[in-house]
Structure 1
Amino acid sequence: MKTLNRALLPFAVLAAAPLGAQTHLAANTAPADTTPAPAATQAPVTVSALPVVVGSPSAGGVGQFEPAKQGRDFNGLQLQIGGAFAQTFQALDHETSATAAPNTTLGQIRPGFNLASANLNIGAQLARGIRVDLESYMASRHHNEFWVKGGYATIDASPIDVPVLNRIMEYTTIRAGHMEINYGDAHFRRSDNGNTIRNPFIENYVLDAFTTEIGAEVMVRGPYGTFVMGGVTSGENKGDIKETAVDASPAYLGKVGFDRQFSPMLRLRLTGSLYSASSSPAVTLYGGDRTGSRYWGVLEDTATLKAGTSFTNGRVNPGFANEISAWQINPYVELGNLELFGVIEPASGKAAAAADRREVNQLAGDVVYRLLNDQLYVGGRWNRVTGDWSNQTNLTVTRTAFSGGWFVTKNLLTKVEYVTQDYEGFAATDIRNGAKFNGLSIEGVIAF
C-alpha cells in the first residue's frame, strides 16, 4: 500500500516513546469479605494515584471485566485520581464503486496524526464499601471541550450494620447514577476516548454497543464464579423531562454468566446479556459513543470531510431510535498465553416512524497471544455485521484487523494495527457501494 512507507517514521517515533506492561487478572467474580470492620477513626482526606480506579472502566489489567467486590477496610475519606491519554497516527486509503451522484465523491485523505484524546476520572471512598466515581472526557473527537461522561455510586457493603443486610451485601453490588451500562462484555475491551489500554486493537467493534444512561444495576455473585445482574435505566443517554410524541418508558437490562479460574493455565468465562426498550424518545445503545471512532475521514464525501461533522467512520448504527431488543453472548478463554474472545449479537428495533422492526446481526472473534509476561502481544480480529439499516436491506460490513502491542510499563502502551473493511449490498448511489478502506494505524496510550 502506498501509505505504508510514509507510516514508518511516525511508528519509529511512537515505538521509542515509553509507552504499558499489564498483568493478567484472575476471574474477578468471587465474593469478598464484607464482615463489618471496627469503626474507623475519621482520618484526614488523603489523595492517592491508582493504577486501577476501582469500579470505573479506566486503566485496567488484562482480562478485567466487572471489578471485584471491595474489601471491608475503611480508614477515612480517600480521593483517588485516574487519567488516560491516547495519540493516534493513521495511514488509511479508501475507495468506492458508487456511481456519480451527489455526496458520492470521496474526500481526499492522507497519512497524519489525529486529534489526541484524554480522560480524567475522580473517585472517592466515602465509607466502608461505598464509593463514588466521576468520569470525564478532557478532549474528544466529537466534543473537543471538557465534558462529563457520567457519575455514579457503587455500594459493596451495607451502610446499616444489620446482620442480615451484611450477609446479603457479601454477595451483592449495587451501582446507581449516570453510568456506562453493563450490557455485554465487549464494552470492557473497547477504546473509550483516551482510555484505550484495554483494547488490543485500535478501533472498537463495527456494531459498537456502548451508552451511558441514568439508572441502577444490581449484581449478585454466586458460587463457582457465577453471577446474575439486573438493571433499569431511563432509556436515554441524558436527563430529559420534555413531553414528546414518543412515550418515555424505562429500559431494562440483564446479564447472567460465570467467570472461573479452573487452573493457573485455564480461565473460562461465558456471559449472556439483554437490553430492551419498548418505547424511548432516544435509544442510543448503538450510537451512544459521542467521542468518535479511531478511523478518521474514511468513506466521507468531500463536503462532509471538509465540514468535519462525521465522527463514527467505519461503524454501523442501525437506527433503532425508539424501540430495541438486543442480546449479546460473549465467550472468553485464557489458555496459558492465548486469549480468545467472541461476540454473538442479534438485535432488532425501529424508529417511531417506521412501520416494521428491522434486524441486524453481529459476529466477532478476537485471538490474542501474549508474550514475555504480557509485555508484548499479537492479535487478530474478524468482525461482520449483516442486516437492514440506512433504509436498505441485506447489507454486509466485514472488518479484519491484525495488531501488535508493547507494554513498556503497566500504564504505557504502544500498539499498531493493520485493518481492512469491506461493504456489500449498498445501493449504487450510496458512497458505501462496493466500498473499502484499509491501512495502518499506530497508537500511543498512557493510562493510570
Structure 2
Amino acid sequence: MRTLNRALLSTLAVLAAAPLAAQTEQVAVNAAPQADPPAAQADTTAPRRTGSVLAPAAMAPVPVVVGSPAAGAIGEFEPARQSGEFTGLQLQIGGAFAQTWQALDHETAAAPAPGTMLGDIRPGFNLASANLNIGAQLARGIRVDLENYMASRHHNEFWVKGGYATIDASPFNVPVLNRIMQYTTIRAGHMELNYGDAHFRRSDNGNTIRNPFSENYVLDAFTTEIGAEVMVRAPFGGFVMGGVTSGENKGDIKEGAVNASPAFLGKVGFDRRFSDLLRVRLTGSVYSAESSPSVTLYGGDRTGSRYWGVMEDTVSLKAGAAFTNGRVNPGFANEITARQINPYVEIGSLELFGVMEWASGKSAKEAERREVNQIAGDAVYRLFNDALYVGARYNRVTGDFAGQTDLTVTRRAVSAGWFLTRNLLTKAEYVQQEYDGFAATDIRNGGKFHGLAIEGVIAF
C-alpha cells in the first residue's frame, strides 16, 4: 500500500508540475518541447507493428478534465452511461472536502460501571475529511476509476477506497455486441456495491454533498468488495442488475474456520421523469452471502460517522477507538440475506425518499439466524432554483442484535442547506436519537443524544 501511495503521489506531482492551459470546462496538459536525446547505441527492442493494439500511443497531450463522475450529482443514482464519441485518452480528477462543527449532548440510564460511563464531550470541530478521485476514459465507453480517501476518522492517512472499470460500449465492432452494449453496463473491480439506493445519498467521507443531512442512516448499508456487476437498462426507464463478489471487503486467500463462498446481489427498478414536475423511481435490491469469513455489509464504512463521541464511554473516547457513533451493526459476520426497497419521487420542488429494509443473518458462533428491520423516510423541499433546501428525516431500526433481542433505535432529524454554487454547500442539522430495550449493562440502555451539526462541503 505504501508503494501504491508513493506512486499515486508521484503521478499527481507530475501532473501538477506540467504546464496547464486553463479553460472553462477542461484543462489541457501541454508537453514542453524537449531537446534531441544524445547519441546512444541502437535499441534492439523494436516497437509493436503499426496497427497493433499494443503499439505505442502517439505522444500527444492528454487532456485533463476537472471533475469526476465518481463524485456523483444531486438526484443521480446509477451514473449515466458514457458511450459517446471517443476523441482520445482523457484524464479526470475530482475531489471532495468536508468540515463539521458539532454541539451534541448525550445521556444513558445504564448502571455505572467501567464501559458504561459516558465520556464528556463539548462543542467543537471534528477532523476534516477529504476524497480524491482519479479517472481515465480509455476508449469509447470504457473508463477506469480510482477512488481514494485522503483523511478520515478510521484512517487519517492517504488510502485507497477502491478501483474499478466501467464498460458501456463493446470494444469490438461486432453488430450483435454493439446492440447488446447499447443497453448494458458492466462494472468490475474493487468497488462500492450497488445494493439499495441509500448508498447514493449517503455521506462518503469528504463527499457529503449528495446527502441533504449530516449523517447516514442508523443501519448503514455500505461496503466495498471485489467483484462484477452487469446492468441492463430499458428505453422506458426500467433496469435490472446482477452481480457476484468475493463476499469480503478485501482480498484474502487464507483458509479458515469459515468457508469462503461468493456473495450475490441483484437489483430491479424503474426510474423515469414524466415531466419537469414529476419523476418516479422505485427499486428493489437483495444481497446474499451463504458463508463468508467476514461479511461487512453493515460495517464496511471505514471512514466513520459524522457524530463524534456520542454514546461512547470514557476509555474509548480518550483512545479514539470508536468511529461509527450513532449507527448500529447487527453483527451478521458470516451469513446474511438483506433486502431493501426504495421509493423516490420528485413532485415539483419536493423530494420524497424512503428505505424499507429487512435483513437476517448470524455470526459463526451463533446457531440461529437473527433479524433486523429498518424503515426511513426523507422529505426535502428545494427553493430558489435549488439554491436552498429544508428537510426532515425519520429513521427507525428494530430487531435482535448479538446477545440482545427486541431492540429499537429511533432517529429524528431536520436540516437546511445553502448551495453557494453547485459544488459548494453549507448545511445544518438538528438530530435527536433514542435507544430502547438495551441491557442495563449496555451503555446504550435508555441512551439518548441530541444537538446540532453544521457542515461545509466542497465536491467536484
Is the shorter-chain TM-score for this pair beyond 0.5, marking a shared fold? yes
- Report the 3-state secondary structure (helix = DSSP H, G, I; strand = E; otherwise coil) of the residue aligned with 1:274: strand
Alignment of 1:101 with 2:120, yes or no, is no
Alignment of 1:291 with 2:303, yes or no, is yes
The code of the aligned residue for 1:437 comes to: F
Structure 2 counterparts to residues 200-279 of structure 1, below 5 A: 200-279=212-291
Alignment of 1:48 with 2:65, yes or no, is yes
Structure 2 counterparts to residues 27-426 of structure 1, below 5 A: 44-50=61-67, 53-54=68-69, 56=70, 58=71, 60-426=72-438
Name the CA distance, whole Å, in 1 between partners of 2:442 and 2:286.
33
- Report the 3-state secondary structure (helix = DSSP H, G, I; strand = E; otherwise coil) of the residue aligned with 2:236: helix
Indicate the percent of aligned positions where both proteins have the same amino acid.
Answer: 80
- What's the offset of the Cα at 1:168? 0.3
The total of aligned residue pairs comes to 403
Name the CA distance, whole Å, in 1 between partners of 2:308 and 2:112.
23
Name the CA distance, whole Å, in 2 between partners of 1:297 and 1:264.
43
Name the CA distance, whole Å, in 2 between partners of 1:45 and 1:430.
57
- What's the offset of the Cα at 1:89? 0.3
- Report the 3-state secondary structure (helix = DSSP H, G, I; strand = E; otherwise coil) of the residue aligned with 2:176: helix
Name the CA distance, whole Å, in 2 between partners of 1:129 and 1:44.
21
The C-alpha deviation readout for 1:194-235, integer Å capped at 9, x for no partner, is 000000000000000000000000000013100000000000
Name the CA distance, whole Å, in 2 between partners of 1:428 and 1:119.
40
Larger Rg: 2
- Report the 3-state secondary structure (helix = DSSP H, G, I; strand = E; otherwise coil) of the residue aligned with 1:167: helix
Is the Cα contact below 8 Å between 1:271 and 1:331 reproduced in 2? Answer: yes
The code of the aligned residue for 1:370 comes to: R
The code of the aligned residue for 1:265 comes to: L
The C-alpha deviation readout for 1:264-321, integer Å capped at 9, x for no partner, is 1000000000000000000000000000000000011111111110001000100000
The C-alpha deviation readout for 1:103-160, integer Å capped at 9, x for no partner, is 1111000000000000000000000100000000000000000000000000000000
Name the CA distance, whole Å, in 2 between partners of 1:443 and 1:102.
33
The C-alpha deviation readout for 1:330-371, integer Å capped at 9, x for no partner, is 000000000000000000000011010000000000000000
- What's the offset of the Cα at 1:247? 0.4
**Equivalent position of 2:53 in the other structure:** none
- What's the offset of the Cα at 1:239? 0.3
Name the CA distance, whole Å, in 2 between partners of 1:66 and 1:103.
42
Name the CA distance, whole Å, in 2 between partners of 1:143 and 1:100.
32
Name the CA distance, whole Å, in 1 between partners of 2:402 and 2:253.
29
- What's the offset of the Cα at 1:71? 3.2
Is the Cα contact below 8 Å between 1:44 and 1:77 reproduced in 2? Answer: no
Name the CA distance, whole Å, in 2 between partners of 1:280 and 1:61.
34
Name the CA distance, whole Å, in 2 between partners of 1:390 and 1:416.
34
Name the CA distance, whole Å, in 2 between partners of 1:395 and 1:333.
31
- Report the 3-state secondary structure (helix = DSSP H, G, I; strand = E; otherwise coil) of the residue aligned with 1:165: helix
- Report the 3-state secondary structure (helix = DSSP H, G, I; strand = E; otherwise coil) of the residue aligned with 1:210: coil
- What's the offset of the Cα at 1:174? 0.1
- Report the 3-state secondary structure (helix = DSSP H, G, I; strand = E; otherwise coil) of the residue aligned with 1:364: strand
The C-alpha deviation readout for 1:31-89, integer Å capped at 9, x for no partner, is xxxxxxxxxx9653111102xx22x2x1x322100011113211110000000000000
- What's the offset of the Cα at 1:262? 1.0
**Over the residues paired in the alignment, what is the CA RMSD in angstroms?**
0.9
Name the CA distance, whole Å, in 1 between partners of 2:276 and 2:62.
39
Gapped runs of 5+ residues in structure 1?
1-40
- Report the 3-state secondary structure (helix = DSSP H, G, I; strand = E; otherwise coil) of the residue aligned with 1:224: coil
**Equivalent position of 1:34 in the other structure:** none
- What's the offset of the Cα at 1:101? 2.3
Name the CA distance, whole Å, in 2 between partners of 1:152 and 1:226.
24
Alignment of 1:442 with 2:454, yes or no, is yes
- Report the 3-state secondary structure (helix = DSSP H, G, I; strand = E; otherwise coil) of the residue aligned with 2:294: coil
Is the Cα contact below 8 Å between 1:44 and 1:76 reproduced in 2? Answer: no
- What's the offset of the Cα at 1:100? 1.9
- Report the 3-state secondary structure (helix = DSSP H, G, I; strand = E; otherwise coil) of the residue aligned with 1:223: coil
Task: Say which structure, 1 or 2, has more relative contact order (CA 8 Å, 6+ apart).
Answer: 1
The code of the aligned residue for 2:155 comes to: H
- What's the offset of the Cα at 1:425? 0.2
The code of the aligned residue for 1:139 comes to: A
The code of the aligned residue for 2:408 comes to: T
